[in-house]
């Protein structure tokens, strides 16, 4: 079992996703700034995992506060929220997790500081636990779309490594595999960070699910050859109208899937919905550093000084999305209503 992130003896321990699969190294964060750095540098990545890390980081920050009155404690927390909140702009799960922790502070406003710290830690651990069961539910709701013998294309890594465990898009694939369906996966390598080559391929091989690695620019070729039955990806933020921000390249895959009449599913927890946004155009797109494009494992693959663009995400319009698979069921077009209905369901 892959242990993406856990809490042990008041230390946040994460597998370092920047060096997988070559090395299996664990990073131990003893303060919230280390957690923020780990999110920023993509030691941990994937929207749900970022949410868990953010919550745990806030718990660490709260516990480290030396404040002896509530006002100073709340000021300390504000600084923690700020630092954690400035790590990565696109995945809404980060802000969702911050809101969850703020809610705990509001709810237990009357408790003494030490007990409030315990409540924050407790909520962070709960968020991690809940994420795993959420993913298993996503898997159950999604696996109905996979038929025996299907080949499923996925982009980036929306697996156990992108979550507290099991995965969203890979959760759907795992659930179908666990249900005894024979399937195979085409994994886009997902430049520049190579989440597909490094993480998705590694995870699926670990679970003995047949996977073939391709470069991103081969996806169209295999669709044209009739080799892809279904696409399933994760999401970093889903607007109220069903527009989906996800790893750069997802939009191209969606357009290609549409052109070839291949169903295109998005698998994500309810915490990835951002119903405050009426369309994907409002989702901030993170621009990352040029050297992630020009260098692979520290080795330059481009001329020195070349100009580079590096949007880390793109937005897939809802019209290309066949369905959004959540832990509470599957939303289909029209998303404004279907997403609202799911979001207003029972809160877990």
Q: Which residues contact a second copy (rule: CB under 8 A)?
A: 21-22, 155, 186, 188-192, 194, 197-198, 201-202, 205, 210-222, 224, 248-249, 251-252, 255-256, 259, 293-294, 296-297, 299-309, 311, 314-315
Which residue of the set 10, 188, 207, 236 is catalytic? Answer: 236
Q: Where are the alpha helices (DSSP H) in 86-208?
A: 92-107, 113-142, 169-178, 195, 201-206
DSSP letter (8 states) at residue 236? S
**Calpha distance 290→213 (Å, rounded):** 25
3-state secondary structure of 182: coil
What residues contact 342, with CB distance under 8 A and at least 6 apart?
A: 270, 273, 326, 328, 329, 331
CB of 226 to a second copy, least distance (A): 13
Beta-strand relationship, 323-326 and 329-331: antiparallel
The residues that bridge with 326 in the sheet, in sequence order, are 329
Q: Among 64, 80, 78, which residue's Cα sits nearest to residue 114? A: 64
**Calpha distance 70→291 (Å, rounded):** 43
Bond into 192 cis (ω within 30)? yes
Beta-strand relationship, 323-326 and 273-274: unpaired
Cα torsion 166, 80, 84, 98: sign: positive
Q: Among 186, 191, 188, 163, which residue's Cα sits nearest to residue 173? A: 186
DSSP letter (8 states) at residue 198? I
- Look up 236 and say whether it is catalytic: yes
Beta-strand relationship, 244-247 and 237-239: antiparallel
What residues contact 328, with CB distance under 8 A and at least 6 apart?
A: 137, 270, 342, 345, 346
- With respect to a second copy, which residue has the nearer C-beta, 98 or 223? 223
The residues that bridge with 237 in the sheet, in sequence order, are 245
**Calpha distance 124→118 (Å, rounded):** 10
């Amino acid at each position: 079992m892959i242990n993406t992130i856990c809490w042990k003896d008041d230390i946040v321990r994460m597998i370092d996703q920047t060096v997988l699969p070559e090395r299996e190294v664990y990073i131990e964060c003893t303060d919230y700034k280390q957690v923020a750095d780990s999110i920023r540098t993509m030691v941990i990545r994937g929207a749900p995992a970022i949410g868990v890390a953010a919550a745990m980081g806030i718990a660490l920050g709260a516990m480290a506060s030396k404040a002896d009155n509530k006002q100073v404690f709340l000021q300390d927390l504000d600084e923690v929220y700020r630092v954690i909140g400035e790590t990565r702009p696109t995945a809404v799960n980060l802000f969702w997790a911050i809101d969850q922790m703020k809610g705990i502070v509001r709810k237990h406003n009357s408790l003494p500081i030490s007990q409030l710290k315990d409540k924050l830690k407790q909520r962070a651990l709960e968020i991690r636990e809940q994420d795993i069961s959420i993913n298993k539910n996503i898997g159950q709701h999604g696996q109905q779309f996979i038929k025996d013998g299907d080949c499923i294309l996925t982009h980036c890594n929306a697996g156990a490594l992108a979550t507290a465990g099991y995965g969203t898009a890979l959760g759907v694939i795992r659930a179908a595999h666990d249900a005894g369906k024979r399937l195979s996966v085409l994994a886009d390598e997902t430049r520049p960070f190579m989440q597909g080559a490094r993480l998705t391929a590694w995870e699926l091989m670990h679970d003995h699910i047949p996977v073939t690695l391709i470069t991103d620019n081969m996806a169209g070729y295999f669709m044209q050859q009739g080799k892809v039955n279904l696409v399933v990806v994760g999401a970093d933020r889903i607007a109220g109208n069903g527009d989906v921000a996800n790893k750069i390249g997802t939009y191209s895959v969606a357009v290609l899937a549409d052109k070839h009449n291949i169903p295109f599913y998005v698998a994500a927890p309810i915490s990835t919905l951002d119903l405050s946004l009426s369309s994907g155009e409002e989702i901030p797109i993170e621009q990352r550093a040029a050297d992630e494009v020009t260098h692979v494992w520290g080795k330059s693959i481009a001329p020195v000084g070349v100009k580079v663009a590096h949007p880390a995400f793109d937005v897939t319009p809802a019209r290309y999305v066949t369905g959004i698979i959540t832990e509470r069921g599957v939303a289909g077009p029209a998303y404004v209503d279907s997403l609202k209905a799911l979001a207003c369901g029972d809160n877990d």
